[in-house]
């Protein structure tokens, strides 16, 4: 799980943790995009496809329940210090579980922490959101230089917008293509 939009979300979370930013550290007008990637290192076969669909459905339901929980909770749960303390608790949990030195990047890109970030901002701004799942992706559906990363895999993208008609690009998968080209191609082969 990653947040691929806004692109500098890890830096923002880092600044939030050290007190240089307050909550919210994503503006209401900014597009947020979360990515869930299924099937690495192997491809998703037909029998696994339904398992992935179930897992994706459970994930969406969890996001819904958490977002509604934030919306229905007292405003104290949405203040900077309360939210920061939750991030610190998660950081402590990671450092305790790892039982070795943990790089800050591991903390800032932790799927649980990124999930909190998306859910809290969507709730704070009372935004609509949607998730869309794709795949297993076929080679002919992908740009040539993305096949090694995505062929046979399934992805789920979530956005802080009502639906894909409210996105500033022709297809919801475009931010993933851009993110992969900027961050992975040629770096993980």
pTM: 0.92
Comparing CA positions, the residue from 159, 186, 188, 163 lying closest to residue 175 is: 159
Ramachandran assignment for 27, one of left (phi > 0), alpha (psi -120 to 50 degrees), beta (any other) = beta
Nearest-angstrom CA–CA distance, 33 and 10: 13
The one-digit pLDDT tens for each residue of the chain (189 residues) are 999 999 999 999 999 999 999 999 999 999 999 999 998 677 898 889 999 999 999 999 999 999 999 988 877 678 999 999 999 999 999 999 988 888 999 999 999 999 999 999 999 999 999 999 999 999 998 888 888 889 999 999 999 999 999 999 999 999 999 999 888 766 544
Calpha distance 5→175 (Å, rounded)? 8
| Maximum distance among all Cα pairs of the chain, rounded to whole angstroms | 50
Q: Quick one: pLDDT at residue 119?
A: 97
Q: Roughly what angle, to the nearest 10 degrees, separates helices 9-17 and 80-98?
A: 100
**In this structure, how many other beta carbons lie within 10 angstroms of the beta carbon of residue 97?**
8
At 188 the pLDDT is 47
Burial 65-75 (b: 16+ CB within 10 A, else e): ebbeebeeeee
């Amino acid at each position: 799980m990653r947040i691929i939009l806004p692109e500098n979300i890890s830096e923002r979370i880092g600044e939030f943790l050290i007190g240089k930013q307050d909550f919210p550290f994503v503006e209401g007008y900014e597009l947020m995009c979360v990515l869930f990637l299924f099937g690495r290192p192997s491809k998703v076969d037909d029998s696994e496809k339904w398992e992935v669909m179930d897992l994706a459905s459970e994930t969406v339901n969890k996001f819904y329940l958490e977002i509604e929980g934030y919306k229905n909770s007292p405003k104290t749960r949405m203040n900077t210090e309360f939210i920061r303390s939750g991030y610190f608790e998660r950081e402590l949990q990671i450092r305790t579980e790892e039982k070795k030195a943990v790089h800050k990047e591991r903390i800032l890109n932790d799927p649980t922490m990124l999930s909190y970030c998306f859910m809290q901002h969507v709730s704070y701004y009372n935004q609509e959101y949607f998730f869309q799942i794709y795949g297993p992706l076929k080679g002919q559906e992908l740009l040539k230089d993305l096949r090694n990363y995505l062929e046979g895999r399934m992805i789920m993208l979530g956005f802080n917008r009502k639906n894909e008609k409210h996105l500033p690009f022709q297809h919801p998968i475009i931010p993933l293509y851009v993110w992969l080209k900027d961050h992975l191609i040629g770096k993980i082969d």
